[in-house]
Structure 1
Amino acid sequence: MAHPSQLGFQDAASPVMEELLHFHDHALMIVFLISTLVLYIIVAMVSTKLTNKYILDSQEIEIIWTVLPAIILILIALPSLRILYLMDEINDPHLTIKAMGHQWYWSYEYTDYEDLGFDSYMIPTQDLAPGQFRLLEADHRMVIPVESPIRVLVSAEDVLHSWAVPALGVKMDAVPGRLNQTAFIASRPGVFYGQCSEICGANHSFMPIVVEAVPLEHFENWSSLMLEDA
């Protein structure tokens, strides 16, 4: 959950998000070192009084400023490609959920069950209970079992939407007429908030995503109650 004045990412709640945090730190360190080197060169050039008017070219310098950036790009590209392939990998999901974007709410369908689905609307500010978060609470949460591979099929009914939950490292575009998929594993119990991340009209800011990860036995009890009420 984000908090006021937060500068970094939310705490990771999935293995993919942990990998993204590590890659962020790795890339940021490379950027910091490059920025420090460039700043040092600029200061040195401005402050020095030594000049050499007779150097027209230098093979050594040209090799250095060609090879060094190539090495830096490789150091960034290899971990990035690894994470991209990791995010696309979907092996034997225990649960498949279809998330459909509408103007301006989400609907969820648990495809492994015969009749388990519901719409999820934002709770208006005046109806919030004490301790709930403005613009983030939904009347129905997407409940999942913790430490289980979850596949989410994402599409839209009307315009472009995007299903995103930062703590889980998930963001997938919802495109009308197209079925995209993503997968994640919630590594700890909790309630994780997200929002539509594609501008989709007047109430774009009012279609939150709430994912609740619970132990397997609690999920089974919840699904049984939902099926009884259906």
Structure 2
Amino acid sequence: CDDGHLMCSSCRGAHGEDCGRVAAPCRLADAYAGAVKLPCDYVKFGCEAGLVVYHDSVDHRRACQHAPCCCPERDGPWGGGGCDFTGSREMLLEHISTNHSRQVILMRHGQTGRLSLPLARRWQVLVDQDDMANRHRSVFLVILAERDKDAAVSLVCVRADGDAPGAPQFSYKLAVEHSGSGARVTFELPVMKSSSLPAGTPWPDEFTSLSVPKAYLSDDIVPLNIHIDKH
């Protein structure tokens, strides 16, 4: 610019807002910035992007599908033990099956599935069956919590790239039916929350969870109907 500041093309817009004297990017700065490359932070979790141009590294890190997630058994608001596992979603599924002996339940977007889940389980992992051949499968965590007068059920998409541009979004509907009367309680959320589970399984809050009267339970089993749509 007229003040002698050297800018590459990617920084020109932001600099122009501060300086107001930007005429054209410096080709030397472009060449220099383009030559500076870094490995992805998540190579150890399976990222094969290779070296990433420095000024693209932040966007790559936000969108990298190998960005790590934590184990649902990580110590959090539930108290108790704690599992310090951290890894990609694919690694997490293997960890849950092997280290915690938890079966992963298959489901399909756009179809309603019925699950019978004990409250004591606290969480259950779902995977989209249509993604089975994809290394970057959609992983969902059903969260179950017992409260004084009722039970709470919520759903979260397990991923670290949920706020990346172009990342798929999901909505869901939960329903529980009373076995005697046929009465139903339902809950719908237009945009599912995403989380890398930094504190393990989150406690379901009142705004994103289904409240289930205990009279709807069979012992401590929640007869849950679940429907997930992908947008």
TM-score by length of 1: 0.29
TM-score computed with the length of structure 2 as normaliser: 0.29
Structure of larger gyration radius: 1
Bigger share in helix: 1
Q: If each structure's strand is expressed as a fraction of its own residues, which one has the higher value?
A: 2
